[in-house]
Structures are given as structure tokens and as C-alpha cells.
Homo-oligomer: A and B are copies of this chain.
Amino acid sequence: MKAIQDLYPDNLAHCYGCGKNNSQGHQLKTYVEGEETVSRFTPDMKYTAIPGSVYGGLIASLLDCHGTASAAAFACIAEKIDLNQVDLPIRCVTANLNINFKALTPQGEELVIRGKLKAIEGRKISVDMTLTAKGVVCATGEILAIRLKE
């Protein structure tokens, strides 16, 4: 299956964090795996917080893009929309992003971000997230995403 972000229509695929049409950005890719969503990303060493630890702003960025992609995917799944169609009909923006930094995130490691659907209420979609490095939870987050009107 394609990444969720690669299903965004071209006019909504410029996000610095995850847009396929932003060549200078992170190009985060999020996949549906069973009941969860998963992204994997190994940050460049320039993304330092204090030496040895990954910059918190990058962690926030990854959770934001993982969250909006997950919200769109979960909304599609709830409506039985085929995620393999070329243009994803649902695109979400962030209303609230709440991050708990649990431990310093080590540099030089692959980070794994997982999302689980918490709730869908009309255009509001909530997703719980974890970010781990070497199996250790370094951050948790919750996003409230809003589905854009068509």
C-alpha cells in the first residue's frame, strides 16, 4: 500500500513535514498497519536539542504530520473508502496538538511513531500517538484534527 501522504491530491501535498510536492521537507510517510498507523523516520544529526538528543520541535513536527495523516486514514476507514484510490478525499488540519516528552530521544536512531484512533465526532478526529526509539517511549501525543470541508 502507498503512504497516506502519497494519496493526498497534488494541490494539498506541499506540507514541509510530509508533502510529496515539497522537495525540501521531511517527506514523512505514514502507513496503515492493522488497527494502527505507523511512520518511521531517522532524523539528521543537525536536529539537536541538547547534544545527543533529538530536537523537540522535530518530534512535534513528526507527531503533527503523523496525526493529520492518521486522522484522514481513520476517517476513510470509518467510511469504507478504499485507501488505494489515487486521490484521498479527506484532508485534515490540526486544531490541537498536545505532546508529553517522556524521555530524551536519542540521536542516530530510527524513530517509530504509532497512532490509534481515539474518537470521530463529525469533522473532529482524535488520535493518540507514541514515539519510540529502540523500543523506549520517548514521547506521547494526542492530536485533535479537523476535516477540511470539500
Contact = CB atoms under 8 A, between A and B. Distances in A.
**Copies of this chain per assembly:** 2
A16 B96 contact: no
Contacts of A3: none
A58 B93 contact: no
Q: Mostly helix, strand, loop or mixed at chain A's interface?
A: mixed
Interface residues of A, number: 35
B96 A48 contact: no
A41 B51 CA distance: 24
A120 interface: no
Interface in A83-138: 93-101, 104
A15 interface: yes
Interface string A57-71: 110111011000000
A77 interface: no
Contacts of A25: 46
Contacts of A46: 16, 22, 24-25
> Which 9 pairs across A and B sit closest by C-beta, in order of nearness?
A57-B61, A60-B60, A16-B55, A98-B98, A24-B46, A14-B48, A17-B57, A97-B99, A57-B64
